[in-house]
Amino acid sequence: MLEVGREGRDERALTILFLGMLYWRGKIYHGTRVPRQYLVETAWLEENLFDPAIRLVDMRGYVRTVDKGGKQEAVYVGAPEEYAQEHIPGAIYIDWTQDIVDHDDPVEAQIAPAEKFAAAMAKAGIGDQHLVVAYDTHPASQFATRLWWALNYYGHTRVVILNGGFAKWKHEKRPVDHIKPSYPRATFTAKEQPQLRATAEEVLQMIKQDGITLVDARDSGQYTGTVVRGEGRRGHIPGALSLPREKLINPEDGTFRSNQELQHIFADANVVPEQRIVAYCNGGVAATTVLFSLAMLGYPQLTNYDGSWNEWAPARSFQ
């Protein structure tokens, strides 16, 4: 039986959902509305490592920061060498800085256009029929959730996150491998979901609208302006709430907090499901941890400002 680790969920429906591989959003199964799944536990993954319907994706990478004269500089890097040294058996590697980004966009790390994204998935052996299980080693799983968001943005909702990531996997002494698997080329159909991604111009208009909540997922220092990254302005987008993504994670083991805990955190921050939630960070990555957590709670209107502070801060036209 699948280890869910989530309070208040219909365990029987979830078991049916996973054992039958019926990852259907909003469909009815034997008269019961099947809830969508977001997390899988390490024990479940070990039992299902060699299921041909699953594609396991290693998303390890880093945002390396250096303090230079009171300003923070960030470098986005992947971790292919770490993957080559060891990874969960059967996992393929996707570089969040190379494979799924638009290199022609002046803003760093923007989501790749549909044709390129679909080609990257197809080459990796990820097809329309596959369940994608993503993991990384980030304390807030933000690279794994970036893939979760990117796949959803292109219409592929069959994607879950390994709760606790590779760190928890290794801590539990589960198997690792250094062999790079090879899967046959697949057919991946990219169907853009524009409501999941906002442009700077759209965010500028949202500031003036009711029914919108902007959430800043960066650390509090960047939000208040005591920490400055890059050459742009300090501070935050007008009207944005501060909710650092680390608050959503159990510091003891890197797993996501329970639904009840998440509900309290978001309620205390005045992030309510009746609003359209637009999250941002520096490059649209940390924001996806917030969006993922909200999705687990059933928030229906979730958008990533992909350009985030990397785009907003240098542009004087965005005031």
Helix runs in the chain, H state only: 11-19, 42-47, 80-85, 114-124, 142-153, 165-171, 200-206, 220-224, 259-268, 286-296, 308-312
The label of the residue with tokens 């080459």 reads 123
SS3 at position 115: helix
Domain assignment of residue 134, yes or no? yes
Asked if 133 and 269 sit in the same domain, the reply is no
d(CA 243, CA 16): 35
Asked if 237 and 292 sit in the same domain, the reply is yes
The label of the residue with tokens 């909200």 reads 294
d(CA 262, CA 253): 16
Asked if 257 and 301 sit in the same domain, the reply is yes
Structural domain of residue 273, as residue ranges? 195-312
Phi, psi (deg, nearest 5) at residue 162: -75, 115
Average pLDDT, consecutive stretches of 10 residues, N- to C-terminus, the chain (319 residues): 40 36 29 60 96 98 88 94 98 98 96 98 98 98 98 98 98 98 98 98 94 97 92 92 98 97 98 98 98 97 97 79
* Number of alpha helices (DSSP H) and beta strands (DSSP E) in the chain: 11, 15
Supply the pTM of this predicted model. Answer: 0.89
- The CATH number of the domain holding residue 142 is 3.40.250.10
Question: What total of structural domains would you count in the chain?
Answer: 3
Asked if 164 and 248 sit in the same domain, the reply is no
Give the pair of three-digit tokens for residue 317. 């036209």
Asked if 121 and 131 sit in the same domain, the reply is yes
Asked if 137 and 99 sit in the same domain, the reply is yes
Asked if 93 and 231 sit in the same domain, the reply is no
Asked if 41 and 182 sit in the same domain, the reply is yes
